[in-house]
Amino acid sequence: MGIPELLVPAGNLEKLKIALTYGADAVYVGTSLFGLRKYAPNFTLSELRHGIEFAHQRTKRVYIVLNSFAHTHTMDTLPRMIDALADLNPDAFIISDRGVFELARARCSVPLHVSTQASVTNAAGCAYWKSAGAKRVILAREVSINACKAILEQVPVELEVFIHGAMCASYSGKCVISNYTAARDSNRGGCVQSCRHRFGVHTSSIPRSEAHIMNAQDLMGVHHIQAMLSAGIHSVKIEGRMKSNLYVAQVSRLYRQAIDRILQDPEAPCDDLENELATVSNRTFSDGFLDRPQTACNTQFTQYSKSLNFLGTVQALDATYAYVHLKQPFTTDTPMQWITPTGTHEAAINTMTNAANTPLRVADLKPNCLIKVERTPTIVPYSILTQPVS
């Protein structure tokens, strides 16, 4: 078994640092222009430069997502965009559009990864993209681990495969429901998750009813890591550039632990890690297509399930205090925890002040405020403050 890359989404610069601090080997990031997460905060060029330097100082990698399907008017600005991004020295561009791929290949030497949106599902497709200059192919999500193995037996190519995160009722994410229902193009970053709604099913054989018939469950492949490593998959990828700091921290830490554990002992159980993964927001889990030809929907509800609330992130530390950017206020009737790269630790917050040292009470807390709390040995940069959902 080789050592696979753990690839984690980073929706902004803070999440990039969290992912790499908590165990990711590489992150993928977007710009608002050509990535498929138009409504994620995304990165400015200077943030990207900073993030790539941060990663390279730690011998880690940053891949830039350019996986929209480019329409004619965007092709005018694309060459300048590619040149500017290539100057930042990223470790790859992730591309699905054949025209964008050719443009990038002609203009720079940045390695090119073929996006899952390109729907590559077989060895002939991989051989084609390899001969076209691709360093890596990110397979369609509908490909099983056994099929990955069969592809690698025929074509020596780097394969990247999704192991965790949201699944989608369309094939490889190619869908135009949002174009029709909200005038937003799913294939250019505008998906409004129309498939998560309740739909009526009315036929002569099905009684009048409504259900979330396209609400795909999330993928959790932690118990397939051994099979993925044995198959020779180069990179295991987590979905979720719109997800919270807590999600990024937990999936990075827990999949890092899972991979390291399986490399030590291929038979080692990972049930404890599965349980912890289920504490962060999810639509309930399935194995996706990793070991079967079809997967499951959660037809009953479309809310996220979670057992931990994300309260805030440590943004800075000095000798005495931790400075926490609050995502949401908290009450003190439920115990809190710090999540750090080494695990979960009890958080006892006795006193808090604002940055000007004015004491704060729980009632004073507002989303996005900065609070100072007493530093303890367990608190490190990017520690995440959480509280069980009551």
Q: In what order do the strands lie in the sheet with 370-374?
A: 343-347, 336-340, 384-388, 308-317, 321-326, 370-374, 352-353
Question: Which of residues 143 and 324 has its CB atom nearest to ligand SF4 in the complex?
Answer: 143
As a whole number of angstroms, the distance between CA 129 and CA 94 comes to 13
Question: Which of residues 169 and 317 has its CB atom nearest to ligand SF4 in the complex?
Answer: 169
Work out which of 66, 191, 236, 280 binds ligand SF4, going by CB under 6 A. Answer: 191
Tell me if 119 contacts ligand SF4 by CB under 6 A.
no
Q: Binding segment for ligand SF4 among 128-136, 144-152, 170-178, 306-314 (CB under 6 A)? A: 170-178
Work out which of 169, 211, 213, 360 binds ligand SF4, going by CB under 6 A. Answer: 169
As a whole number of angstroms, the distance between CA 102 and CA 96 comes to 11
Work out which of 193, 257, 295, 376 binds ligand SF4, going by CB under 6 A. Answer: 193
Work out which of 74, 122, 170, 305 binds ligand SF4, going by CB under 6 A. Answer: 170
Cβ distance 372 to 323 under 8 Å? yes
Work out which of 172, 194, 244, 387 binds ligand SF4, going by CB under 6 A. Answer: 194
Beta bridge partners of 6: 236
Cβ distance 254 to 280 under 8 Å? no
Question: Which of residues 36 and 112 has its CB atom nearest to ligand SF4 in the complex?
Answer: 36
Question: Which of residues 215 and 383 has its CB atom nearest to ligand SF4 in the complex?
Answer: 215
DSSP assigned state of 111: -
Beta bridge partners of 83: none
Identity at 11, one-letter amino acid code: G
Least Å distance, CB 214 to ligand SF4, is 6
Looking only at residues 10 through 49 of this chain, which bind ligand SF4 when binding is defined by CB under 6 A?
none
Least Å distance, CB 117 to ligand SF4, is 10
Work out which of 19, 92, 177, 324 binds ligand SF4, going by CB under 6 A. Answer: 177
Distance from chain centroid for Cα 264: 26
Cβ distance 181 to 192 under 8 Å? yes
Contacts of 341 (CB under 8 A, 6+ apart): 21, 22, 23, 249, 253, 380
Work out which of 178, 244, 386, 387 binds ligand SF4, going by CB under 6 A. Answer: 178
Work out which of 66, 100, 103, 195 binds ligand SF4, going by CB under 6 A. Answer: 195
Beta bridge partners of 218: 285
Residues that bind ligand SF4 (CB under 6 A): 168-170, 173, 175, 177-178, 186, 191, 193-195
